[in-house]
Amino acid sequence: MRHTLFSIKNPLILGLFLITFNVLLYLPAMKGDFIFDDIHLVKNSPITQNPNFLNKFLWQAFGDPLGKDARSQDLEKGMQYYRPLVSFSFWLDYKLWGLNAAGFHLTNMLLHSLNVLLLFLLVARCFNDWLAAFAAASLFAVFPTNFENVAWISGRTDLLALLFLLLSAHCFFTFVRSGHKRDTVTAALFFFLALLSKEAVILSLLVYIYAALIYGEKGSLHPKIYFLLTFSIAVMLFFLFRSSAVEVPRVNFSIIPPAALFSGIGFYLSRGLFPFFLGFSIPDEKVLHAPGYFLFGIGFCLFLGGAVVYFLVKKKSPPVYLPWGMLSFLLLLPSLFILFFENPVSLLAWRFMYLPLAAAVPMLAVFLARRMRPFFYGLLVTILLATFAIELLPHVRHYGQSDRAFWLNLRHLERESRLFRLNHAANLISVNEQKAAALLEPFIADRTSFMADFFNRRALEIGAFHFTASNDLKKAQYYFDVLFSRYAEQPLNVYFQYAVFLAKSGNREKGREIVMYYLRVFPENHEVLLHAADFYLLIRDYSRALQILQKDFRLFPTNFVQERIGKLQSSPAPD
């Protein structure tokens, strides 16, 4: 169906409008600095700033390297993620912009703009409906939950994954229409690049197979076999590359009950339908316990599964937007499976909605376009764009700050996750100790909720580290005593902070023994070397601190360490 309201058929004009609209929305984020994970993934990253980055990025886990000694590398193999193209994009930005965060933000904006444009063209090709395509792309561009992917530099993972997945989908669509081998080869190649950006896209292969069987050329098996062969090679290559860098994360159902999967699905569905009054994070402890989200999630799964089975059994041609709904659901599932990994890095996050929304928004846009008069449809889309922009812009502006200001200026803490509330308290404690303590106490007392130990330990660390730094050693002693009484093993940074506490308390030699022990156990570990250098600076052993920093720079060259070396060399006794 073609809508006469949208008589303009020039994709260039519409595309330029979409890009301009998108850039204007996210422009305030360019004022922001590196925030949260950006500091580890970019600003102080030995991966991003490594002169030999291109020689090894395909064989390296995503994130900070633990070290080059055998014990560190054993620990690093347990990291969950393998996303070399994301690391490559950060490295390329670093080469272009240095450590100017505005350049990194600009790249995110341009990637999102490309995704919006490619989505517009794909929907127009699939449904031959310019109005629905333009509505889908516009709504996706301004969808409120996308702020985390675009305004936050570290949200780039999903931007890149969608870029290559859309390019793959365009080639696959051409293959379904023509059956040409070259189209399935290019589709498989872009699919492989999408996998190198984020593992979650692998389930979209099921929709490719479904679409090839339903919509491909009838009576000819050869193109379908070639399609399966090329995509199988792409998947096998991905797993071959991935196995060289990381291990398969272990699943542990004792942390979170399986029912939480349906609660997560129900939550994401509800926020996709009503994306307003959003926090900057998701209070997962409220979501995963909510029976309403559980019932909504399990009901949707039964409905979707029933619809697919119905069309297969009845051998009826499904509605053209059904594969888009399947794709949205499948792109959401991997982000929910994270709940059941051992030591999950994240639980629920807005950025996990970016890929599913790229399929869900077009499906709904086409569905409504075929059931509404063009005038009322255009009015509805206009109202949604305005309300989405009103919700989105404050979040984008909030990212246009320094890291400290980002955490201190969080409002509506009741909407935020435990991790965000803890980070707010960690920055607030030097400004308002009493208020920060009130925020930390519930975390210290909680011993029953999901990942209670993780947040309990983090709250105690915040107190111990702050009072050590501010020389309130009596309070620091209390937090360290609770930490060591509750947990037999501690992260490396806790042991080093305890060494600092001991040195400040007059027990310098015992603190030195702790530092020297971990230097022997992890002789080429980036974190250990930096913490050890800090300790020797504290006790005014400047030559030893310089020696350790120089070793770290030889192993993990970064601007941050280079600046510290230069300061030490120019001023033998820094403040």
pLDDT recorded at residue 9 = 53
Residues 6+ apart with CB under 8 A from 314: none
pLDDT exceeds cutoff 80 at 458: yes
Q: How confident is the model at residue 251 (pLDDT cuts 50, 70, 90)?
A: low
Tell me which residue has tokens 């601190």: 545
Calpha distance 276→573 (Å, rounded): 54
Structure tokens belonging to residue 290: 């909510």
Compute the average pLDDT of residues 334-363: 86
Instruction: List helix spans (H) across 199-289.
Output: 204-215, 222-243, 260-273, 284-287
Residues 360-381 have a mean pLDDT of 94
pLDDT score at 575: 45
- As a whole number, mean pLDDT of residues 428-439 equals 94
Is pLDDT at 289 greater than 50 in this prediction?
Answer: yes
Look up tokens 């504290």; give the residue.
538
Going by pLDDT thresholds of 50, 70 and 90, the confidence category of residue 8 is very low
Alpha carbon separation from 207 to 170, 300, 445 (Å, rounded): 14, 18, 46
pLDDT at 1: 42
Alpha carbon distance 35, 49 (integer Å) = 18
Q: What are phi and psi of 341, to 5 degrees?
A: -75, 150
b/e burial code for range 126-151 (CB count within 10 A of at least 16 → b): bbebbbbbbbbbbbbbbbbbbbbbbb
SS3 assignment, position 525: strand
**Which pLDDT band holds residue 213 (cuts at 50, 70, 90)?**
confident
Count CB-CB contacts under 10 A for residue 435: 13
Write down the pLDDT at residue 346: 64
Percent of the chain surpassing pLDDT 70: 93
Q: In the chain, how long is the greatest CA-to-CA distance?
A: 84
pLDDT for position 400: 97
pLDDT band at 5; cut points 50, 70, 90:
very low
Average pLDDT score over residue span 510-517: 97
pLDDT tens track for 386-404 = 999 999 999 999 999 999 9
Backbone angles phi, psi at 297, to 5 degrees: -65, -45
pLDDT on residue 6: 42
Mean pLDDT value across residues 559-564: 91
Residues 497/464, Cβ–Cβ less than 8 Å: yes
pLDDT over 50 at 275, yes or no: yes
Each residue of 89-136: pLDDT tens digit? 999 999 999 999 999 999 999 999 999 999 999 999 998 888 899 999
Here the tokens at position 221 are 């098996």
- Residue 469, pLDDT > 80, answer yes
Q: Give residue 414's identity as a one-letter amino acid code.
A: E
pLDDT at residue 56 greater than cutoff 90:
no
pLDDT of 212 = 83
The tokens 């974190």 sit on which residue?
527
Q: Tell me the C-alpha distance between 234 and 217, whole Å.
A: 23
User: Do 187 and 168 meet the contact criterion of CB atoms below 8 Å apart?
Assistant: yes
CA 183/CA 175 separation, integer angstroms? 5
Q: Average the pLDDT over each of 342-346, 480-484, 540-544 and give the range with the smallest value.
A: 342-346
CA separation, residue 360 to residues 10, 22, 265, 318 (Å):
25, 19, 13, 17
Determine the Cα–Cα distance for residues 267 and 296; give it in Å rounded to an integer: 8
Higher-scoring residue by pLDDT: 70, 477: 477
Q: Which residue has the higher pLDDT, 63 or 524?
A: 524
pLDDT at 460: 96
SS3 556: coil
pLDDT tens, residue by residue, 60-71 = 888 767 788 888
Decide if 296 contacts 266 (C-beta within 8 A). yes
CB atoms within 10 A of CB 492: 15
pLDDT of residue 3: 43
Task: For tokens 């077009």, name the residue.
Answer: 362
Q: Given this model, what pLDDT does residue 7 score?
A: 44
Q: What's the pLDDT band for 413 if we cut at 50, 70, 90?
A: very high
Q: What is the DSSP letter of 69?
A: S
Q: What is the per-residue pLDDT for 181?
A: 82
Separation of alpha carbons 190 and 128, rounded Å: 24
Beta strands in 237-334 (DSSP E): none
Q: What does the pLDDT read at residue 116?
A: 96
> What's the pLDDT at 451?
79
- List Cα–Cα distances, 365 to 51, 132, 273, 275, 321, in angstroms: 47, 6, 12, 16, 10
Pick the most confident of 76-80, 247-251, 334-338: 334-338
- pLDDT-wise least confident of 201-210, 446-455, 489-498: 446-455
d(CA 136, CA 155): 22
Confidence of residue 343 (pLDDT cuts 50, 70, 90): low
For 270-296, give one letter per residue: b (16+ CB within 10 A) or e: bbbeebeebbbbbbbbebbeeeebbeb
Answer yes or no: is pLDDT of 573 > 60.
no
58-85: average pLDDT: 80
pLDDT in the model for residue 156: 97
Rounded to 10 degrees, what is the CA torsion of 268, 273, 277, 278? 30
